[in-house]
Amino acid sequence: MVGEGDYEIRIRGRVSDSILASFDGLDADFEPAETVLHGSHLDQAALHGVLELVRQLGLELVEVRQIKAGRSA
């Protein structure tokens, strides 16, 4: 069973501030071709909720990666 973790969720393109507001509790960084969401201490249910929201908003998911705690993004 997967416990809580820190995740990096990459979405193609730059996501607008109004859409980012839907991802309450996640931080966002912007790279030239992607928006990178960072979530700390997400459990499996919360992670699935974020992924479902990405789908509902019609965003293109590039990558989901669990990162080690304490790693600076």
Is 20 a residue whose pLDDT tops 90?
A: yes
CA distance 28 to 53: 15
pTM of the model: 0.84
Model confidence pLDDT, tens digit, residues 37-64: 999 988 999 999 999 999 999 999 999 9
Q: How far apart are CA 1 and CA 11, in angstroms?
A: 26
What is the number of H-type helices and E-type strands within the chain?
2, 4
* Topology (CATH level 3) of domain 5-67: Alpha-Beta Plaits (3.30.70)
Domain boundaries, the chain: 5-67
12/69: higher pLDDT: 12
